[in-house]
Chain A
Amino acid sequence: MSVQTESLYQEIILDHYRNPHHRGLRDDFDVEVHHVNPTCGDEVTLRVKLDGDRVTDVSYDGQGCSISQASASVMTDLVIGRGVEDAMGRAEAFRELMQSRGAVEPDEDVLEDGVAFAGVAKYPARVKCALLGWMAWKDATSQALAAAGRAAPDAPVADDSLEEHPA
């Protein structure tokens, strides 16, 4: 493949795709959600376990392209073991990066392996793939907090990236 594909399909992305972290649904969870990408049929089932304000586990299963699967894997690395507020901030940083069309320089301290997705922002058709797991996690976490009688630390950000396009 050409140089351009390699900038989309970074080695880090391919590594997470081939060897996903934290994959598989685990039984100890608070909330389960199922999200789909209506344009391509990608789907993810995701479970969240919170302990107070800490994300103790995120487990998931699903089917999708390399971008959606690798992004979910990177996401679990970034949020498991972190405080909800910290994790939500990273989710927001990732969303901002994805919707920047390449204009935002990613912060490796915040996004770690997630910086490898900077190239995806230049492929609008693939941004939805990269956000699928993250949006599922935010949804599940907000529901878990609500069930525990707490509001999510951030007001949910209006998300226009997952709107349905004519297929």
Chain B
Amino acid sequence: MTPPTATGTTAAGLVAPYDVEAVRADFPVLSRTVNGHPLVYLDNASSTHKPVQVLDAERRFLEQHYANVHRGVHTLSQEATDRYETARERIARFIGAQHDEVVFTKNGTEAYNLVAYAMSNAATSGPEAERFRLGPGDEVVVTEMEHHSNLVPWQMLCQRTGATLKWFSLTDEGRLDLSTIDEVITERTRLVAFVHTSNILGTTNPVDVITARARQVGALTLLDAAQSVPHTPVDVRALGVDLLVATGHKLLGPTGIGLLWGRRELLAAMPPFLGGGSMIETVSMAGSTYAPPPERFEAGTPVISQAIGLAAACDYLDAVGLERVSAWEMALTARALDGLRSVEGVRIIGPDTTEMRGSAVSFVLDGVHPHDVGQSLDELGIAVRVGHHCAAPVCRRYAVPATTRASFYLYNTAAEVDALVEGLGRVKAFWGA
């Protein structure tokens, strides 16, 4: 593990604010080869690798303390419950939240659906659920840069309830067009669901501007923070949103765990989504009452060992320091933007500076389809993502069938950025572009 004060130097004079090589040593996969070349893993916006500290924590828990939680009186059950709830506290602290405001889901997608179905269920719940009710004449606002997971559930919710879906469109520079904010968010708006940092464009949105307008009209706000929580310090209270979603596998944690954060009083009033064990207070044949949050939203056996792993990932990131991670990623992103601009025929899709930006960089290469770019880069050991990145409306907006996307994380190096840029030169030569 890296002492927070360590300084690492990588290729070409860029100096990292921590020892990147020591970090890399914690990720065994980074020393393997792919197609005869050292792996250059630039698909972190899709999913990140896990350090041995995370794998060890999960394994140790499964080997020594595992049992189902919240059920038994035996020692293992107590230990497992204690560790599960301690993990919840740890993860909550990572985003500046209280432990009982964090609900575990199987992934980010389930968290959006949880809220969407809770809002449907509000129609037949008591008066405390009034804030979540939707019907004809009401509006839900999203943006044109949403990941499908923060778009399709709202389309479906509007279909079920008769509410209307509206959205912010995008500027040519890859930013939200907020010039019409007062027409998009109106007195009829009940919910504004929007992304913090786009997985395809890299754009970071001005949360304060949107939440301020939403508050004016009394609308709820939900933030997709899947691409921001792993990369930069996020404090849910400072953001001023009502609900926030993130996912474990994009922040060095296991797959199979996502999280929904909500303000305590809001979660307390929100109807459940999935029914079953653990989420109840009393059950009779005629009906049931529900447990308080977060248990109300965690029906069935929860994601136990994944929570243990994710808590270890939070420990890891805090030990390196998210401020430092963010600074290093921005240095790599700046280098990537410069390098990509130097390749003739490359067009960056999204902001071309590091201002208000994450570290996902999408681009197209004239005359070579992204699938062919990605396949050819893979032959050089370089892993990038190609396709529409679950954000098809963005591709349509910028009139491209798909993009190639490189996305960086704390273990990437300047040499890897250079390998991408050089690799693109070889791709161009092969395809005669």
Contact A2 B388 (CB under 8 A): no
Q: How far is the CA of A45 from the CA of B152 in the complex (A)?
A: 26
Q: How far is the CA of A96 from the CA of B425 in the complex (A)?
A: 36
Contact A167 B387 (CB under 8 A): yes
For the complex formed, measure the closest distance between the CB of B151 and the CB atoms of chain A, giving whole angstroms: 12
Q: How far is the CA of A48 from the CA of B276 in the complex (A)?
A: 52
Contact A41 B376 (CB under 8 A): no
For the complex formed, measure the closest distance between the CB of B321 and the CB atoms of chain A, giving whole angstroms: 32
Q: Which residues of B contact A126 (CB under 8 A)?
A: 371, 375
Q: Is A155 an interface residue (CB 8 A)?
A: no
Contact A167 B388 (CB under 8 A): yes
Q: Is A129 an interface residue (CB 8 A)?
A: yes
Q: Which residues of B contact A42 (CB under 8 A)?
A: 371, 401-402
Contact A41 B369 (CB under 8 A): no
Q: How far is the CA of A139 from the CA of B380 in the complex (A)?
A: 38
Tell me the A44-70 residues at the B interface (CB within 8 Å): 63-67
Residue in B closest to A5 when the chains form the complex, CB atoms: B379
Q: Which residues of A contact B426 (CB under 8 A)?
A: 1
Q: Is A40 an interface residue (CB 8 A)?
A: yes
Q: Is A25 an interface residue (CB 8 A)?
A: no
For the complex formed, measure the closest distance between the CB of A104 and the CB atoms of chain B, giving whole angstroms: 22
Contact A129 B371 (CB under 8 A): yes
* CB within 8 Å for A63 and B376 given contacts A4-B35, A40-B371, A40-B388: no
Q: How far is the CA of A103 from the CA of B28 in the complex (A)?
A: 33
Residue in A closest to B371 when the chains form the complex, CB atoms: A65
Q: Which residues of A contact B395 (CB under 8 A)?
A: 41
Contact A41 B401 (CB under 8 A): yes
For the complex formed, measure the closest distance between the CB of B249 and the CB atoms of chain A, giving whole angstroms: 12
Contact B369 A2 (CB under 8 A): no
Q: Which residues of A contact B375 (CB under 8 A)?
A: 5, 8, 123, 126
Residue in A closest to B396 when the chains form the complex, CB atoms: A41
Contact A1 B376 (CB under 8 A): yes
Which of B148, B379, B386, B392 has a CB less than 8 Å from the CB of A2? B379
Contact B36 A40 (CB under 8 A): no
Contact B379 A41 (CB under 8 A): no
Q: How far is the CA of A64 from the CA of B388 in the complex (A)?
A: 12
Mark each residue of chain A from 1 to 23: 1 if its CB lies under 8 Å from any CB of chain B, else 0: 11011001100000000000000
Q: Is B319 an interface residue (CB 8 A)?
A: no
* CB within 8 Å for A167 and B390 given contacts A2-B36, A4-B379, A41-B401: yes
Contact B401 A5 (CB under 8 A): no
Q: Which residues of B line the A interface, CB within 8 A?
A: 35-36, 148, 369-372, 375-376, 379-380, 386-390, 392, 395, 401-402, 426-427, 430
Given known contacts A1-B430, A9-B430, A40-B401, what 6 new A-B pairs fall within 8 Å (CB)?
Answer: A1-B427, A2-B35, A2-B36, A40-B386, A40-B402, A129-B371
In the complex, 7 of the A-B residue pairs with CB atoms within 8 angstroms, ordered by the A residue number, are A4-B35, A40-B402, A43-B401, A65-B369, A126-B371, A166-B390, A167-B388
